[in-house]
Amino acid sequence: MTAIPATNLWIGNAGDARNLQKIRSLEIRAILLLAYEEPIVNYPRDLTLIRLPLLDGGENDFFNFEIAVTSLTSLIQNDVQTLVTCSMGMSRSPVIVSAALAIHHSLPFDDVLTSVCKSIPTDVSPEFYRYVRSVFEKLI
């Protein structure tokens, strides 16, 4: 689990999403689960949980993508400590975090993605990147 500098955001993997002790110690209040292939975990009622299953390619529903980005943007605007996870925490999570931060700060998506990717190990799927890049403009 890695903090994104100058934000209340953390990026992690499926194992991090199950580490309730670490989540509590970081005072994380919301978890955005993006992994299509991971099982659903039971969380305590005081944690906000948003599960939007995205595939690491271009075959996602715009609906799920839009909810993921707008929900995360709202959490950012409200200064909520949030963990964003996908299976490995290296593709879907940094891309969705970058899209939400770009919208929140009115910055170019590619610039924000480059900055986020400097903070964590990444392996962004080219198909997922192209998909997000193509629909990003519809959200702003």
Residue span of the structural domain in which 104 resides: 2-139
Q: Is the pLDDT of residue 53 over 80?
A: yes
User: How far is the C-alpha of 104 from the C-alpha of 122, rounded, in Å?
Assistant: 22
Give the per-residue pLDDT at 117.
Answer: 94
The structural domain count of the chain equals: 1
DSSP result, 12-74? E-HHHHT-HHHHHHTT--EEEEEESSSPP----TTSEEEEEEE-SSS---HHHHHHHHHHHHH
The DSSP output letter for 80 is: -
> In one letter, which amino acid is 67?
I
pLDDT higher than 80, residue 81:
yes
- Read off the pLDDT of residues 18-47 as tens digits, 9 standing for 90 and up: 999 999 999 999 999 999 888 888 899 999
Q: What confidence tens digit (pLDDT) does each residue in 89-140 have?
A: 999 999 999 999 999 999 999 999 999 999 899 999 999 998 888 888 888 7
Share the mean pLDDT of the chain.
Answer: 93
For the whole prediction, is pTM greater than 0.75? yes
Cα separation, 58 vs 132, in Å, equals 8
94: domain CATH number is 3.90.190.10
